[in-house]
Structure 1
C-alpha cells in the first residue's frame, strides 16, 4: 500500500495488520515455532513445551490457529484419544518469517 501521506493510510487494511491478527498473542507464535521445529506434535507435548500455558488457553489458541488455516488437527479414534497437530501449507508459509525472527533474536540477544 502506497500512500502519499499518513492521513490517507489505514493500518487496519494493511497486510502487516492482517498477519499480526493471525500470529499475535502470547502463545500463537510459540506454538507455530514448536510445530515448525517438531513437525507433528501431540497436545500434551505442546503443553509441556510451553510449560506455563493452561489447558483452556492452549485449547482456545489451537482452535484459533486451526480456524485461521495455519494448523491441522488430526484426531485418531482410539482409547485413550490421540490428537496430533501439524502446520498446514498456509502455516508452513510462515516458516521464513519465524526463521527470520529466530535469526534476529540470536544476533541481538
Structure 2
C-alpha cells in the first residue's frame, strides 16, 4: 500500500469518517519493510537501528527510518533513548498493539503456503 492510502486512512480517522476496517488494518503494516520490522521485533524483543538495518540489508537508512517513524506514529512500536558512554542510543520495541498483528501475519503466511501447495505443486 502506498503512502497516499496511509494518509487517506489517517485523514478519515481524524475526521471520524472511517468506514472500512480492512483498509485501516492494511494501512497499519503496509509499506516497505513494515511487516518485516514487526516480525523481527517480535522475535528479537528489541533492537537498535543498526541491528534492524542489518536484518533488512536491502533497506536504505532513509526508508527504514521513515517506516519506523510511521510504525511509532501508528502506535505499533516504541522508541526509547538512553545514553551509553556519552553517546545517545535508540532502542525499538514491539508493543502490545503491534504484537496483536502477529497472528494475522501467521494466518497470511499459512494461507500463502496453502495456496502455493494447491496451485503450484506437482500433484
Residue correspondences, number: 98
Report the alpha carbon displacement of residue 105 of structure 1 after superposing the two structures with TM: 3.9
Structure 2, gaps ≥5 residues long: 1-17, 118-123
Q: Residue 19 in 1 paired to residue 13 in 2? A: no
SS of the aligned residue for 1:69 comes to coil
Show the counterpart of 2:90.
83
* RMSD over equivalenced CA pairs, Å: 1.7
Report the alpha carbon displacement of residue 85 of structure 1 after superposing the two structures with TM: 0.8
Q: Residue 70 in 1 paired to residue 73 in 2? A: no
Q: Deviations over 1:53-91 (max 9, x none)?
A: 111111111011001000001111233322111111111
Show the counterpart of 2:7.
none
More moved, 16-25 vs 78-87: 78-87
Give TM-score, length-normalised by structure 2. 0.71
Taking a change above 3 Å as real, the CA distance of residues 45 and 97 of structure 1, as seen in their structure-2 partners, is: same
More moved, 62-71 vs 32-41: 32-41
- Selected match of 2:38 from 27, 32, 35: 32
Report the alpha carbon displacement of residue 19 of structure 1 after superposing the two structures with TM: 0.7
- Selected match of 2:108 from 88, 92, 101: 101
- Counting helix residues as a fraction of each chain, which structure ranks higher? 2
SS of the aligned residue for 1:96 comes to helix
Q: Deviations over 1:6-45 (max 9, x none)?
A: xxxxxx7211000111111121111111111111111111
